[in-house]
Amino acid sequence: MGDTEIRELTSEAGWREAFPVLRELREGLTEGAYLDYLREMREEGYRLFGLFEGDGGSEGGGDELVAVAGVAVRTNFYNGRHLFVYDLVTRSDRRSAGHGGRLMDFLADWARERDCESLTLESGLWREDAHRFYEDRLDMERYCYTFKRTFDAG
């Protein structure tokens, strides 16, 4: 394993580089929809970070993107000011190497620098491996359920 570096992805080239990794989490997402959503989400405060491994730096260098996280600082009555992690994924061929933990540690520090009281995320009920990672490795607690109601188009 080489050196790792975490950087915010702010260019379309960086976003395109992140798409194959993010698609491992959001399987039904097309690249076109991803870019459209990402542009809108960035206007709402969403930030995309990548963990790179290697020797020089992608977005123009030689590093390999192995994990991504999409986050936004939010405020509400039950969490106060917090960092919400919308997306967190490590490439399937690079899991269990500590990348997810390094990325989450970075995000926790990043959140503290922005006066956040906590870091929160949602995880699908079927993602039991992710739940073990959050609870056992990151010492996070199960806090609540999220409910969703989908509307018909039209």
Per-residue pLDDT tens digits for 135-145:
767 777 877 77
Question: What pTM, to 2 d.p., does this model score?
Answer: 0.84
Structural domains of the chain in order of their starting residue, each with its CATH number: 3-122 (3.40.630.30)
* 142 vs 114: CA distance, rounded Å: 24
Look at residue 104 and tell me whether its pLDDT is greater than 80.
yes
pLDDT band at 62 (very low <50, low <70, confident <90, very high): low
Q: Give the model confidence (pLDDT) of 22-47 as tens digits.
A: 999 898 999 999 999 999 999 999 99
